[in-house]
Chain A
């Protein structure tokens, strides 16, 4: 029990001090990127983990929001927060529009349909160069204005203040996800995942709730995207290519769907490992090879993801302890 209390104290301290424990700005950037992916994955978990809708459109919604937020701000001269909000709204609405025809599809069929959508979005970002500047990328996205707290001035050219913004947003979004998951709304989504016909016979309008789950996932991607452009201060279509959607799905599967803590750890690992490999050397080919090998290993040895592996380890340990206890009692 006291160990748990110590952990509860240690984690917030670690979260607050983390950017100062890192050697340089490069690693702060890696950390910030992993938080962006955590937001994407926690969001996708609502559609995929809770509802069983395996969407490969999360990267596309991410891109739509990033471009929309930046363009609303730059082209219309709107204040940054308004541009961000419009970016989130755009991604969510597109999510609803995509969901209406595609949530009727199940399993791998939905994967393929959303994969097609991601391809379309990438091609549009690349080719609508009047709007997005295409492959040249969107540069000169304005900085967030510096803020002053207790006489100290924090500029957002620095990556460390961004870390705190991202952590706070992530925290709020995880809190929202938890409240939803533990509510009757979350139960309704899990009913659909388990047995759609039985859910319908319990009175669930399954179509309506699937669209809602899909839109919520798009909303999370929207928040991540709206922040991302202002964080990087530039955007290129390659940031939102199809492999991005696959990466978010990979995070969920490696984490073990449904388990938020495992999903967070998977997001951290799958962002930090490739970056570390790149630093250690060998170039991007070797790093990608190793990355692939890690994925194969996880799927072979822990098909239910990190959460499943942890659960299995715990029950095995519990069982052997029980066995030992009963053996002692037998003496």
Chain B
């Protein structure tokens, strides 16, 4: 087990009378792959939105690399080293495939005035494009003309990969994947598992929300189970598989 990368204490999000996330405490260790599972409405996506600063918590603490993330804007969270994908894909649909990857570079370095209108702006652009192509190759997204093809024209599975490439372009320490396998066929699923392994090998910590239990058990070292916004259990895949409370609440027939 590595050092603590992310931790929450008493993290709570209420919408009127509904408590979407209910005093959740957990830690993410540097370098691990951790999954969050739970039935629909368990608060998994809300948890991601809280961590990435998309919505503010009602109460509780979030710390990342020792600093609080509460009240920190989404773009600053990205600069601090947390990247994410979205459950319902939020690509820049009308921008090219390559532009979608390059979009992620913004977190690493903002376009400076001299880079944009200086005499060597063309060379800078080329360097960024090359980095973008490298990332497309890393996630194994093969498309003939990434500079011309709009993202919306990619097949669904490749759109998922593109969103991961964009998140990686921000140079994250922690990558949050919100249902990365949703809508993928078995072959794409296998490729996704390989990709998660390669991302981890780069020293990037991965936290994923996923319904595909098989994938979760395969790739993650620890699994947190959420139910009705509360943390039900956290442990290794084997522990989770055999925990009676978890089986009753969620896994049920799928593992039995």
Residues of A within 8 A of B (CB): 176, 179-180, 182-185, 187-188, 190-191, 194-195, 197-206
* Complex interface residues of chain B between 38 and 91 (CB less than 8 A to chain A): 52, 54, 73-75, 77-79, 83-84, 86, 90-91
Cross-chain contact B116 with A183 (CB below 8 angstroms)? yes
Residues of B within 8 A of A (CB): 52, 54, 73-75, 77-79, 83-84, 86, 90-95, 99, 102-108, 111, 115-117, 121, 124-125, 128, 166, 169-170
Cross-chain contact A203 with B170 (CB below 8 angstroms)? yes
Cross-chain contact B102 with A203 (CB below 8 angstroms)? no
- B83 CB contacts on chain A under 8 angstroms: 201
Instruction: Report how far A111 CA is from B2 CA in the complex, Å.
Output: 52
Cross-chain contact B125 with A190 (CB below 8 angstroms)? no
Q: Which of B86, B92, B117, B170 has the most CB of A within 10 A?
A: B92
Instruction: Report how far A180 CA is from B108 CA in the complex, Å.
Output: 20
- A185 CB contacts on chain B under 8 angstroms: 111, 116
- B73 CB contacts on chain A under 8 angstroms: 200, 205
Cross-chain contact B117 with A202 (CB below 8 angstroms)? no
Cross-chain contact B74 with A188 (CB below 8 angstroms)? no
- B106 CB contacts on chain A under 8 angstroms: 184, 188, 191, 199, 202-204
What are the nearest 4 A-B pairs in CB distance?
A203-B107, A203-B78, A184-B111, A194-B92
Cross-chain contact B111 with A183 (CB below 8 angstroms)? yes
- B115 CB contacts on chain A under 8 angstroms: 183-184
- Nearest chain B CB to A113's CB is how many angstroms away? 23
- A197 CB contacts on chain B under 8 angstroms: 54, 74, 90
- B117 CB contacts on chain A under 8 angstroms: 176, 179-180, 183
Of A180, A194, A199, A202, the contact of B116 (CB 8 Å cutoff): A180
Given A183-B116, A184-B111, A202–B54 Cβ distance below 8 Å? no
Of B93, B104, B124, B128, the contact of A202 (CB 8 Å cutoff): B104
- B169 CB contacts on chain A under 8 angstroms: 202
- A176 CB contacts on chain B under 8 angstroms: 117
Instruction: Report how far A191 CA is from B103 CA in the complex, Å.
Output: 7
Instruction: Report how far A202 CA is from B73 CA in the complex, Å.
Output: 12
Of B78, B95, B105, the contact of A194 (CB 8 Å cutoff): B95
Cross-chain contact A184 with B128 (CB below 8 angstroms)? yes
Cross-chain contact B75 with A200 (CB below 8 angstroms)? yes
Instruction: Report how far A35 CA is from B157 CA in the complex, Å.
Output: 47
- A198 CB contacts on chain B under 8 angstroms: 86, 90-92, 103
Cross-chain contact A179 with B121 (CB below 8 angstroms)? yes
- Nearest chain B CB to A77's CB is how many angstroms away? 34
Instruction: Report how far A190 CA is from B106 CA in the complex, Å.
Output: 13
* Chain B contact residues, majority secondary structure: helix
Instruction: Report how far A187 CA is from B99 CA in the complex, Å.
Output: 7
Cross-chain contact B99 with A190 (CB below 8 angstroms)? yes
Of B52, B79, B86, B102, the contact of A187 (CB 8 Å cutoff): B102
Instruction: Report how far A203 CA is from B109 CA in the complex, Å.
Output: 9
Cross-chain contact A184 with B90 (CB below 8 angstroms)? no
- B116 CB contacts on chain A under 8 angstroms: 179-180, 183-185
Instruction: Report how far A195 CA is from B94 CA in the complex, Å.
Output: 10
Cross-chain contact B92 with A205 (CB below 8 angstroms)? no
A-B contact pairs, 28 of them (CB 8 A): A179-B117, A180-B117, A184-B102, A185-B111, A187-B99, A188-B111, A190-B92, A190-B99, A191-B106, A194-B95, A195-B91, A195-B92, A198-B90, A198-B103, A200-B74, A200-B78, A201-B54, A201-B78, A201-B83, A201-B90, A202-B78, A202-B103, A202-B166, A202-B170, A203-B75, A203-B78, A203-B170, A204-B75
Cross-chain contact B75 with A184 (CB below 8 angstroms)? no
Instruction: Report how far A311 CA is from B116 CA in the complex, Å.
Output: 29
- A194 CB contacts on chain B under 8 angstroms: 92-95
- B93 CB contacts on chain A under 8 angstroms: 194-195
- B78 CB contacts on chain A under 8 angstroms: 200-203
Instruction: Report how far A179 CA is from B105 CA in the complex, Å.
Output: 19
Instruction: Report how far A203 CA is from B102 CA in the complex, Å.
Output: 12
Instruction: Report how far A204 CA is from B166 CA in the complex, Å.
Output: 13
Q: Which residue of A lies closest to B99 (CB)?
A: A187
- Nearest chain B CB to A50's CB is how many angstroms away? 11
- B121 CB contacts on chain A under 8 angstroms: 179, 183
- Nearest chain B CB to A156's CB is how many angstroms away? 30
- B86 CB contacts on chain A under 8 angstroms: 198
Cross-chain contact B74 with A201 (CB below 8 angstroms)? yes
- A204 CB contacts on chain B under 8 angstroms: 75, 106
- B90 CB contacts on chain A under 8 angstroms: 195, 197-198, 201
Q: Which residue of B lies closest to A184 (CB)?
A: B111
Q: Which of A183, A191, A202 has the most CB of B within 10 A?
A: A202
- A202 CB contacts on chain B under 8 angstroms: 75, 78, 103-104, 106-107, 166, 169-170
- A182 CB contacts on chain B under 8 angstroms: 125
Instruction: Report how far A206 CA is from B76 CA in the complex, Å.
Output: 11
- A184 CB contacts on chain B under 8 angstroms: 102, 105-106, 111, 115-116, 124-125, 128
- Nearest chain B CB to A194's CB is how many angstroms away? 4
- A203 CB contacts on chain B under 8 angstroms: 75, 78-79, 104, 106-108, 170
- Nearest chain A CB to B103's CB is how many angstroms away? 5
Instruction: Report how far A113 CA is from B11 CA in the complex, Å.
Output: 38
- B105 CB contacts on chain A under 8 angstroms: 184
Instruction: Report how far A331 CA is from B107 CA in the complex, Å.
Output: 55
- Nearest chain B CB to A214's CB is how many angstroms away? 17
